[in-house]
């Protein structure tokens, strides 16, 4: 099941991410600046960035190597788009927690990818916080 993510009534990220264990996050975005900004936001929320990669193929390889808790996956990337990379990761690990990050949502393609939710670009810190908060509530793998 997938959802659009909104911050709702969650605590503000400026106060940290409560008493939860840090979530290990893999970021896949072909725009270097966007990937680094997402990484900075993830760290600001008190979580760990395991890697920042620039393609769908690299995301699959990094997922296999790092076993992150959450993947923030850009939809439009070279060497496999985010939806295809998402399906390939989920075929190997059905419990993978993948969030599609996109500026141009193609809802049917994203729905078909198996991603847990969609995070719209430009990414808002409160919305990212909500994604990571929700991922922290999910049962461990």
The backbone region for 8, taken as left when phi is positive above 0, alpha when psi lies in -120 to 50, beta otherwise, is left
pLDDT tens-digit series, residues 58-81: 999 999 999 999 999 999 998 899
* Domain ranges (residues) in the chain: 23-137
pLDDT tens-digit series, residues 12-44: 444 344 446 789 999 999 999 999 999 999 999
**pTM for this one?**
0.83
Fold of 23-137: Rossmann fold (3.40.50)
């Amino acid at each position: 099941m997938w959802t659009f993510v909104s911050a709702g009534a969650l605590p503000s990220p400026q106060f940290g991410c409560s008493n939860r264990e840090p979530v290990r996050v893999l970021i896949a975005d072909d725009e270097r600046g966007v990937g680094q900004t997402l990484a900075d936001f993830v760290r600001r929320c008190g979580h760990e960035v395991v890697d920042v990669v620039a393609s769908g193929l690299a995301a699959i390889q990094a997922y296999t190597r790092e076993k992150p808790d959450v993947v923030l996956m850009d939809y439009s990337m070279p060497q496999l788009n985010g939806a295809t990379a998402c399906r390939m990761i989920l075929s190997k690990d059905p419990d993978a927690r993948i969030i599609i990050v996109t500026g141009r949502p193609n809802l049917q393609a994203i729905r078909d990818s198996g991603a847990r939710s969609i995070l719209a670009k430009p990414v808002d810190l409160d919305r990212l916080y909500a994604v990571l908060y929700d991922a922290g509530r999910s049962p461990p793998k």
